[in-house]
Amino acid sequence: MNKCPRCDGAADLSKDNSFRPFCSQKCKLIDLGEWANEEHVISRPIELDDLD
């Protein structure tokens, strides 16, 4: 098992877990809300080399 990036709980990364890499829908929605509120941002513009 791996750790959930939100709560550090156990997270199943198999295709059976529709919330992966999160452990639950709650953690997934909390993370999405933080991005929507701009609490998380990408620190620099994306460049073509980043896509490789």
What's domain 2-40's superfamily in CATH?
Answer: Erythroid Transcription Factor GATA-1, subunit A (3.30.50.10)
**Is the peptide bond prior to 21 cis by the omega test (within 30 degrees of 0)?**
yes
Calculate the CA dihedral of residues 15, 17, 19, 21 and round it to 10 degrees.
-70
pLDDT of res. 26: 98
Give the count of beta carbons closer than 10 Å to the beta carbon of residue 22. 22
Tell me the pLDDT tens digit for each residue of 4-23: 999 999 999 999 999 999 99
**What is the pTM (predicted TM-score) of this model?**
0.74
Under 8 Å CB-to-CB from 34, ≥6 apart: which residues?
Answer: 40
CA 10 to chain centre: 14
Per-residue pLDDT for 1 more than 90? no
